[in-house]
């Protein structure tokens, strides 16, 4: 596991350990690794940052040291390139957690894995690379090194325990404070997302089963709705918060940004179709199972309380959530 201490990487590591697999975690040492793993330390962005991996004794001809490598890297594709090249003779398979952002925007509702992809991506790109090109470049790097031994997991919106982006944790903490809560749009708006643990389970099953190539990995469109998500937050926190559903026009006129100020939510339109209306039939045909939203919300609240109510925050992502003064102004009409 390249990483393995936060969010998606942590969920994959925990699932693999629960299966009785032997797991090696290669990470920078900034966060504690899960109990039961073997640890290798290194910074993939530094010169000789892969030295600890390179020092592992090479396998005998025709064998592999590791059955699977899982990589969640989101920045410069050259980092994926270097790791994949080093590991191509040491690992049987390489699963790269990519993103549905690799599709050319806007992506109309219903497009599958054959949809047009972003241009300008390269496995050799370094430095500051836009997210879509970074993820597509990472895919190309994995394919260059592993070919049909590479699994490309094009995740959509990911939520659940260990989230370090802050989307569901923000809603839970806001609703836990109680009182009137600004609820955006209409409660029947369908949502498409995946619980991080369902992502991890499918990924490991898929790799073990020899699947390769790209898969959109997210729930079916309408797996839940915005109303069901926020109602589940009210129930999980026990706050008795009152959801005040507010029309989209009023929210946008106030300068509120969907997705960032009001996490998860997007009004109907091109971006909504791209993020909440993707075709996932290929993943479901290969065994994807998505748990009910109430379970995801309740488990995330339990985990968040264990963290003292403060979720970890990725340093490369801006904090999300609505300014309380703007919310109060909107609620006051």
For residue 233, the model assigns a pLDDT of 98
Q: Is the pLDDT of residue 323 over 90?
A: yes
Overall pTM > 0.85: yes
Residue 333 contacts by C-beta under 8 Å, 6 or more apart in sequence?
none
Between 58 and 284, the higher pLDDT residue: 284
Asked if pLDDT for residue 163 goes beyond 90, the answer is yes
Provide the number of structural domains found in the chain: 2
Higher pLDDT, 220 or 4: 220
**Is 173 in the same domain as 88?**
no
The mean pLDDT value of the chain amounts to 96
Same domain, 127 and 185: no
- Name the band, by pLDDT with cuts 50, 70 and 90, for residue 98: very high
CATH number for position 65: 3.40.50.720
> How many C-beta atoms surround the C-beta of residue 233 within 10 A?
26
pLDDT of residue 4: 87
Confidence of residue 104 (pLDDT cuts 50, 70, 90): very high
- Indicate whether 285 belongs to any domain: no
Does residue 46 sit within a domain?
A: yes
Mean pLDDT, residues 67-80: 97
Tracing tokens 């643990």 back to the chain, one arrives at: 197
Give the residue among 111, 231, 245 at the shortest CA–CA distance from 183.
Answer: 245
Q: Is residue 280 part of a domain?
A: no
Provide the residue range defining the domain that includes 314. Answer: 162-190+223-275+292-331
Q: Is the pLDDT of residue 316 over 90?
A: no
pLDDT at 263: 98
152 and 255: one domain?
Answer: no
Whether residue 286 is contained in a domain is answered as no
Based on the domain organization, do 142 and 199 belong to the same domain? yes
Residue 45 lies in a domain: yes
Q: Is residue 142 part of a domain?
A: yes
Residue 287 lies inside a defined structural domain of this protein: no
The pairs formed by 315-318 with CB atoms below 8 angstroms and a separation of 24 or more are 316/74, 316/75, 317/164, 317/165, 317/166, 318/260
pLDDT over threshold 90, residue 8: yes
Instruction: Say if residue 166 is in the same domain as residue 298.
Output: yes
Question: 69 in a domain, yes or no?
Answer: yes
Q: Are residues 176 and 118 in the same domain?
A: no
**Distances in Å between the alpha carbon of 41 and those of 4, 54, 67, 288?**
12, 12, 20, 33
For residues 97 and 183, state if they share a domain: no
Mean pLDDT confidence for 206-229: 97
pLDDT at 333: 82
Q: Clarify whether residues 64 and 173 are in a common domain.
A: no
Same domain (yes/no): 228, 326: yes
Mean pLDDT of 8-37: 96
Q: Which of 59-63, 214-218, 235-239 shows the lowest mean pLDDT across its residues?
A: 59-63
Q: With cut-offs at 50, 70 and 90, classify the pLDDT of residue 315.
A: confident
Q: What is the pLDDT of residue 175?
A: 98
Residue 266, domain CATH: 3.90.25
Instruction: Assign 3-class secondary structure to 81-118.
Output: HHHHHHHCCCEEEEEEEEEHHHECCCCCCCCCCCCCEC
**Do 120 and 138 lie in a common domain?**
yes
Q: Do 147 and 11 fall into the same domain?
A: yes
Q: How many CB atoms lie within 10 A of CB 9?
A: 25
* Same-domain pairing of 42 and 152: yes
3-state secondary structure of 39: strand
Contact call for residues 135 and 99 (beta carbons, < 8 A): yes
The answer to whether the beta carbons of residues 136 and 78 sit under 8 Å apart is: no
């Amino acid at each position: 596991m390249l990483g393995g201490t936060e969010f998606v990487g942590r969920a994959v590591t925990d699932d693999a350990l629960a299966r009785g697999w032997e797991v090696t975690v290669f990470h920078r040492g900034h966060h504690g690794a899960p109990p039961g793993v073997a640890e290798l330390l290194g910074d993939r962005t530094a010169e000789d940052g892969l030295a600890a991996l390179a020092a592992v004794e090479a396998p005998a001809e025709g064998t592999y040291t590791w059955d699977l490598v899982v990589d969640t890297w989101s920045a410069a594709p050259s980092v994926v390139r270097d790791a994949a090249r080093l590991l191509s003779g040491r690992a049987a398979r390489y699963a790269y957690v990519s993103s549905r952002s690799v599709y050319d925007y806007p992506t109309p509702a219903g497009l599958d894995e054959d949809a047009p992809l972003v241009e300008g991506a390269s496995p050799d790109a370094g430095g500051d690379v836009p997210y879509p090109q970074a993820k597509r470049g990472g895919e190309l790097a994995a394919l260059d090194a592993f070919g049909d031994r590479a699994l490309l997991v094009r995740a959509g919106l990911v939520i659940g325990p260990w989230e370090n982006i802050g989307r569901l944790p923000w809603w839970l903490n806001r609703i836990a404070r109680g009182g009137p809560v600004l609820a955006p749009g209409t409660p029947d708006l369908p949502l498409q997302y995946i619980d991080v643990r369902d992502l991890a389970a499918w990924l490991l099953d898929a790799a073990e089963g020899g699947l390769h190539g790209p898969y959109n990995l997210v729930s079916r469109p309408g797996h839940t709705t915005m109303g069901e998500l926020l109602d589940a937050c009210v129930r999980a926190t026990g706050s008795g918060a009152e959801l005040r559903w507010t029309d989209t026009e009023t929210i946008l006129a106030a300068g509120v940004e969907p997705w960032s100020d009001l996490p998860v939510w997007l009004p109907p339109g091109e971006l909504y179709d791209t993020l909440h209306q993707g075709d996932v039939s290929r993943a479901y045909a290969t065994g994807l199972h998505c748990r009910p939203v109430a379970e995801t919300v309740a488990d995330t609240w339990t985990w968040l309380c264990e963290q003292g109510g403060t979720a970890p925050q990725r340093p490369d992502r801006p904090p999300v959530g609505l300014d309380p003064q703007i919310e109060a102004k909107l609620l006051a009409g």
